[in-house]
Amino acid sequence: MYEAGGEEGSGFHVFNIASDQYHRAEVIQRTGAIDITCRLEKVIHGAMSADSDRYATLVVLQWFFQPNNRRRISEASIELLFEAEDSDGGDDVEVERISFDGTYSLMPTTQHESLTTGGDASIAINQLASVSLSGKWEKVIDRQTWDAITLSGGKRIVNNRPPNRIAKWILSENKSQPKGIPTSLKVAVLVSRLEEKIFTCRVAFACKTDMKTAAESLFKKIPKDDPIVFQPDCHDEGTRPNKSVSYGDDRLGSVDLDEVGDVTFRTVITRGEKTLN
């Protein structure tokens, strides 16, 4: 996979401005022939349920994919790795549920194809001669094919050791009508923990692009972005706290993540003309 970018790879790294910058709003920014951005839209710290012994956090990320000048992304892979701040207790963080868990289809299309095969008809008389007929035989095969944009999501373990600590999604364009992937994707993850301690999320993104964009980005080394730092302690706001963070919800285990998630292929403005008097 090629990682889409622009002219200066070193400019893509998103830093935490301080070690105590919690819930960084700007997760990823890639600019150039294809602009790729990700924002931390919402964070809710709480518990799986009122009588549960596990704390929980709901994380919502909003992704935007904006190609320029007829560029396109044919496939995109998003991977979120959740880890405890203390490396010895990394298994404490678990991905309980994610939005779009499984394989989903978007904007399905059908195509009708007709395949004709044939040739000259002849009858063999002996090894030295044959009689050719003036007619030809033909066979027509009609078939209808179905294809769609696909979105696949799943939970993964790390180094063959449970529990699941990775949330992953793959977006793929319609192979029959290659017009790229959707322009926006909102994903949600429910994470549980045994203790209310700081934990992090490392975000990895890769994509397949058109050949021209791939050639421009092939030899560019893009450094990894800083991990997002989550602080479940509401009394520790840290540096520049994100306003979209809330605390105290003890029913996070009952949230329907598919209702939170969203995918949009294209946004159309239908009232684009205005008359000024």
Kindly state whether residue 180 falls inside one of the protein's structural domains. Answer: yes
Q: Are strands 73-84 and 55-67 parallel, antiparallel or unpaired?
A: unpaired
In the predicted structure, residue 221 carries a pLDDT above the cut 60 = no
Residue 187 belongs to what domain range?
9-108+150-264
- pLDDT score at 135: 57
Kindly state whether residue 116 falls inside one of the protein's structural domains. Answer: no
- pLDDT score at 5: 39
In the predicted structure, residue 163 carries a pLDDT above the cut 80 = yes
Q: Which amino acid is at 139?
A: K
- pLDDT score at 236: 92
Residue written as token pair 């605390």: 247
Residue 242 banded pLDDT, cuts 50, 70, 90: confident
- pLDDT score at 121: 53
Contacts of 107 (CB under 8 A, 6+ apart): 148, 149, 174, 265
pLDDT in tens, 62-80: 999 988 777 888 899 999 9
Kindly state whether residue 242 falls inside one of the protein's structural domains. Answer: yes
Kindly state whether residue 254 falls inside one of the protein's structural domains. Answer: yes
Domain count, the chain: 1
Kindly state whether residue 34 falls inside one of the protein's structural domains. Answer: yes
Kindly state whether residue 99 falls inside one of the protein's structural domains. Answer: yes
Contact 81, 44 (CB under 8 A): no
DSSP classification of residue 244 = T
Find which of 4-8, 115-119, 211-215, 241-245 is predicted with most confidence, using mean pLDDT.
241-245
